[in-house]
Structure 1
Amino acid sequence: MARAGPGLRIDSFRNLWFLLFVPTNLDQILSVIVFFHDGRFVYLTVESKAYDVVCRRFARKVPAIVVSVNYRLAPEHRYLAQYNDDFDVLTFLDDNKSQVLPKNANLSHYFLTGANLAHHVAYRAAESNFQKLKA
């Protein structure tokens, strides 16, 4: 299983980026899991060892392509910044699928994980007009 590069940057100003975990040796069409890490909006990042292990396990065991999102943290960035960052990653994936995801990624079959963040981002995504992401 491989991780694609040091991270794919979406917005340098906001330090918004994600890590991509892609199972190896799989030619089948794969679902996409968008992973929003825990940390109570205050600490930890996608580079934390525990989250690296979890994302690798998802990619290997499910199997699926995992997008692990690094969003802005509080208290430097007040509430809603985290939700906006995470939603913006979905928008980025919808707009740039062919440039950032493997060809076998199926964005019409994606999952969000990360409790509170996933719930609110999913609600917002369901009301959006994405072209490739299907809620």
Structure 2
Amino acid sequence: MENNTKEIERECLPVIKLYKDKTVERLYISSPIVPPSTEVVPGVSCKDITISTTVSARLYLPNLRDNNNQKLPIFIYYHGGYFCFESAFSTLFHTYISSLASEAKALVISVEYRLAPEHVLPAAYEDSWEALQWVASHSTREKTDDAWLENHGDFDRVYIGGDSCGANIVHNMLLRASVENLAGDVKILGALLSHPYFWGSKTIKSESSDDHEQRMPYKIWYFSYPNASGGIDNPMINPWIDGAPSLSLLACSKLLVCVSEKDELRDRGLKYVECVQQSKWKGEIEVIEIQGEDHCFFLFNPDTDKARSLVKRFADFIK
């Protein structure tokens, strides 16, 4: 119910309001938080860990089939939700990551970063980098925070991935890793960007100029990062704007980008692929376009044939 007695500081209708007393009203309800559980996918163990005072994560370990010394690919995941919603601990992502860990036979670290507007950007980027460094630090054998990473993580096969704003985070982590070394000199082998969230002040391809500034990708950026230099043309959200870091710097050797036909972010995702290809980046890039589907459909309808097929393709990429 809307509170008419408090003064609004800023809002992004129809999903969220921030009042001047710093309380937040989320009109879009995220999926429920659930405890770590093996009930979703039998054989996948999971647990919650604390990385720092601001960052935590849910870890997933698939069945090792009696090979307790087995080394697995490491997959660090950043959830979507326009930087304001959802959680690594929510039903939506617990279900998805459990399935992906099982299918890919990978050790997955699903990162819980701080949300806006309580913590405006770049807080989520800083938390995401801290989580990535925490994982990499276990490669040195001097770090013993987590036995799963120490005993089963293959640090020659480190992948990062995310959906929507989580895919945006992935892009920004790849650029940061090009100028800052990860602990133990760990390298990112591959990155998965599913339905990536990019935007800008100028329309491209099928986007309409009539309501461009009223579209959610435009409004939610200003809500989440009100002090961003360049606004909607900040390089973190518009990676091909003049002055943005060269995409040739992306610090991985394999990229998988997924878009869907009906997603309003589709054209931005395809332009990203095009710009990476034109940048003289030396890695391998693959693009998947799902016909007849909308933004992150595989999360909301995981039991469809298209969703299962897509998760399998994601898993094959990590394998």
Q: Flag whether TM exceeds 0.5 (same fold).
A: yes
**Counterparts in 2 of 1:1-135, with a 5 A limit?**
1-4=44-47, 7-12=48-53, 14=54, 16-26=55-65, 27=67, 28-97=70-139, 98=141, 99=144, 100=146, 101-114=149-162, 115-130=167-182, 131=184, 133-135=186-188
4+ residue segments displaced more than 6 Å: none
Equivalent residue letter for 1:22: L
Contact 1:108/1:132 (<8 A) preserved? no
Looking at structure 2, the residues matched to 35 and 57 of structure 1 have their Cα atoms a distance apart, in angstroms, of 13
Unpaired segments ≥5 residues, structure 1: none
Q: Which sits farther off after the overlay, 118-127 or 76-85?
A: 118-127
Looking at structure 2, the residues matched to 126 and 50 of structure 1 have their Cα atoms a distance apart, in angstroms, of 32
Looking at structure 2, the residues matched to 63 and 134 of structure 1 have their Cα atoms a distance apart, in angstroms, of 20
Equivalent residue letter for 2:180: S
Contact 1:30/1:104 (<8 A) preserved? yes
CA 1:104–1:54: 2 relative to 1, 3 Å = same
RMSD: 1.5
Equivalent residue letter for 1:8: I
Aligned length: 131
Contact 1:42/1:74 (<8 A) preserved? yes
> Which structure shows the bigger proportion of residues in strand conformation?
1
Equivalent residue letter for 1:37: H
CA 1:45–1:71: 2 relative to 1, 3 Å = same
Looking at structure 1, the residues matched to 59 and 103 of structure 2 have their Cα atoms a distance apart, in angstroms, of 16
> 3-state SS of the aligned residue for 1:75?
coil
Contact 2:136/2:186 (<8 A) preserved? yes
Q: How far off is 1:102 after superposition?
A: 4.5
Equivalent residue letter for 2:62: P
TM-score, normalization: structure 1?
0.89
Q: Which sits farther off after the overlay, 80-89 or 116-125?
A: 116-125
Q: How far off is 1:86 after superposition?
A: 0.3
Looking at structure 1, the residues matched to 150 and 60 of structure 2 have their Cα atoms a distance apart, in angstroms, of 10
Equivalent residue letter for 2:73: S
> 3-state SS of the aligned residue for 2:124?
helix
> 3-state SS of the aligned residue for 2:132?
helix
> 3-state SS of the aligned residue for 1:32?
strand
Equivalent residue letter for 2:178: A
CA 1:126–1:109: 2 relative to 1, 3 Å = farther
Equivalent residue letter for 2:126: N
Contact 2:138/2:150 (<8 A) preserved? no
Q: How far off is 1:133 after superposition?
A: 2.1
> 3-state SS of the aligned residue for 1:56?
helix
